[in-house]
Structure 1
Amino acid sequence: MKRINFHLEKRGFATVAAGAALAATLTATMTSGVSYANSGTPQGLPPGAVSADGKFFTPGSNTIVKRNAGEATPGKLSTESLATVNPGPAGTAESYWLKNARRTGQSCGTGLLAQTSGNGKTTLVLTVEKSVAATVTKEIGVDYKAISAGMGWSVTNSYTVKNETRYEVPAGKWGSVQAFPLYDVYRADVYRLFGSDTGKDVYAYKPVGVCFNSWNQ
């Protein structure tokens, strides 16, 4: 599986999960053992793989990264992403807009979507279909409708991630598979409306697939 430009944010910006989750289904199956979903820190990761804010991790040798099976579910642009960005009234906080929005890579999120485990010898099969909210990290107070307009997609929507993996657990071992959201990472420069570059950046994380982390012991 080809991996490209994984983004690990370490600057401790305030992270905001945007948008309410859409209705979704989540299934997990396997040939033996127990299947469940809960929250927790990803296991089997090398030291330093998790970002300083605990929101993302860099995939290691135990991680398989898969973009959505079939065509990705498109998120409709929300009202604010289609709105014209105008200056604020006199006396209000300064308004900003984004320039040079670009996709800079991918990141695996640490929010656990599903998990399955069992004793070997067995084959664990984990199937995930779930709605995940987009996430924004920003260095300056940019309005979300300005971020959506600049990125070209709604940062306040949720997006469906969907894929499946299989993992062979050797005889005499206990194995586990965890599923986490995969994000495309976008970065843009922040400009003052009708003014100069602020020198600040905005990052937007769009859910596009699943990171499967598998191990045995």
Structure 2
Amino acid sequence: RLAARVGGMVGADLLVLLSDIDGLYTSNPKVSAAAEHLPLVTGGITPEIEAMAGDETSAYAKGGMVTKLAAAKIALGAGCAMAIADGRVLNPLQALVDGARATLFTSTETRHSAREAWLLGALSGDGALILDDGAARAVQAGKSLLPAGVVSVEGAFERGDTVRISRADGTDIGRGIAAYGSEDAARIAGKRSADIATILDESRGPNLIHADDLALF
């Protein structure tokens, strides 16, 4: 499940779980001759799909299929497809590329929408960027947040932390990943992006938060 969370966080297209089984079956293939291999699962992890993993007391489930489906839920929710493939073969990833039997789970989420959902659900701590009306309108129109539109910086945060984005009246309008820590953000707030390098003696780009790292309510 950790791999699934990391895959979602980094915007991966595909997560591959290598196992001692070549995918998902309708039931435990070791005990049922009627078990059928599923090469493709679409539409998410439904109760019917979960039932195929067996109850948690079965050897099939204890072997990890329940956990694999839990990972699939996380990955698919983040817009990342997932495959279960046999890791016992030589060069298993190349074998998968060459058409080895596996189960592919496809996601109906886009990475962008999934990333927005992750940002909006992320813990933002005490950090916040307070925007003037012009900047608020700009980010709500899909623009990046520039320092010039920030009237104040609240709380302490580091570069890469998730922060609240609020209007001057206190209304939260979203969340974003800060490109500058709170100390640097406070120094460049209200200033032109062209002046960042002069003020900080360095520049990590013109945006306090890039549009791709913004999620709005």
Select the structure of larger CA radius of gyration: 2
Higher helix share: 2
Same structural fold, with TM-score higher than 0.5 when normalized by the shorter chain: no
TM-score range, shorter chain: under 0.3
TM-score w.r.t. length of structure 2: 0.20
